[in-house]
Amino acid sequence: MILPILAIAVFALYDYFGFTYSIHNNKVRSYRFSQGILQITISVICIWFGGFKAALIFNLLWWTWWADWLFYFYCFVFNFKGNRKDKFQPFEGNVRWAFWTPLGLLQLIFLGRESELHYRILKPVSLMMQSAVGLVVSVWLNYFLP
């Protein structure tokens, strides 16, 4: 379980510095491409050193918003480009960018978008519950998946 946790911390660190740099330099599209390449690379490294289970747990933690929680923790720790002010953003109740998570996809499937331009908001409690379930399932997989 240590390898997937280290992997999610490294991914979130890249996300923190990469996204913060790219948003200030108007290069978010190219950053998103590099982020996808990094996620695939980390998954391959997890398979290589820890097997398929390690890669599965890494991606499950990512999918249930753990990398994002670390991103906001890094906002507090580093304050790169003055973004420390963003550290409480998930708790302000306006997270629309979690549409790719399990709850976000369920909302999208059953409720659709809020408008043509906006995904639906995921509330902080929902994000925390989703992450807790992701952690519980990850621990279960670690101990019960061969």
pLDDT in tens, 24-36: 999 999 999 999 9
Q: What is the pLDDT of residue 94?
A: 81
The pLDDT-based confidence of 111 (bands split at 50, 70, 90) is: very high
| Domain spans of the chain, in order of start | 2-144
CB 126 within 8 A of CB 133: no
Q: Which string of DSSP letters, residue by residue, matches 73-105?
A: HHHHHH-GGGGGGGGGGGGGT-B-S-TTSHHHH
pTM value is 0.91
**Cα Rg of the chain (Å, integer):** 16
CB 68 within 8 A of CB 98: yes
